[in-house]
Amino acid sequence: MPEKFPMANLEIERKWLIRRPTEADLQALADRLGGGFSHIVQTYLLSSLRVSRRVRARTADGTTVYTCTTKRRIDRMTAEEESRSFSKKTTRHC
């Protein structure tokens, strides 16, 4: 693996098709894990080849956290991922 990709930032991408859970299923899971619901809004930005950028707003208990995530493809199954939080007032998000 190339040196410029530190192991801490690498992720192996796997995807599965699952049955869409009902709200009751999600609530039962949240209760069992001691968590709650959050509302997520996200969009993907135009990027160069082999790079994807996502901006996400996640709101839970009245607090919204904004995150920009950049993924650089290494191969079909592996990507280097970098995420950082930003303020809604920030003029340059990603």
pLDDT attached to residue 8: 57
Can you give the pTM of this predicted structure?
Answer: 0.69
What is the DSSP annotation of 6-31? -GGGEEE------PPPPHHHHHHHHH
What does the mean pLDDT of the chain come to?
Answer: 85
- At 23-58, the pLDDT tens digits run 999 889 888 888 777 899 999 998 888 899 999 999
Query: End-to-end alpha-carbon separation of the chain, Å?
Result: 27
